[in-house]
Amino acid sequence: MPQVIFLPHKDLCPDGAVLEGESGQSVLDVALKNDIDIEHACEKVCACTTCHVIIREGFDSLEESDELEDDMLDKAWGLEPESRLGCQAIIADEDLVVEIPMYTINMVSENH
């Protein structure tokens, strides 16, 4: 069973976490199942960017993003080449190292 390793995040996962994931499960579902409360304003239907994550290791094992996800990611705060929406990043057979960005676009807009 692949591991999903979440790097420390000050608010959501201060100590980081090493979790078991199942092939076919989304990164977001693994996080939520283990009480890492990544925001998901659209309820996991690829209609927002609040579950934006950065796949630091294992990115190439994920299926390629589709045009809808790419369009959403273009709006994400702190976009990087290895960015994915957690609801669309489906675990294959390799371990993943995941960074949760410090902010979501919702947080950025709320603070200004």
Per CATH, the number for 3-110 is 3.10.20.30
pTM: 0.91
Q: Measured in whole angstroms, how far is the alpha carbon of residue 34 from the centre of its chain?
A: 14
Question: pLDDT tens digits for the chain (112 residues)?
Answer: 999 999 999 999 999 999 999 999 999 999 999 999 999 999 999 999 999 999 999 999 999 999 999 999 999 989 999 999 999 999 999 999 999 998 776 644 444 4
Distances, alpha carbon 84 to alpha carbons 15, 56, 77, in Å: 22, 11, 12
Backbone angles phi, psi at 32, to 5 degrees: -65, -40
The residue extents of the domains of the chain are 3-110
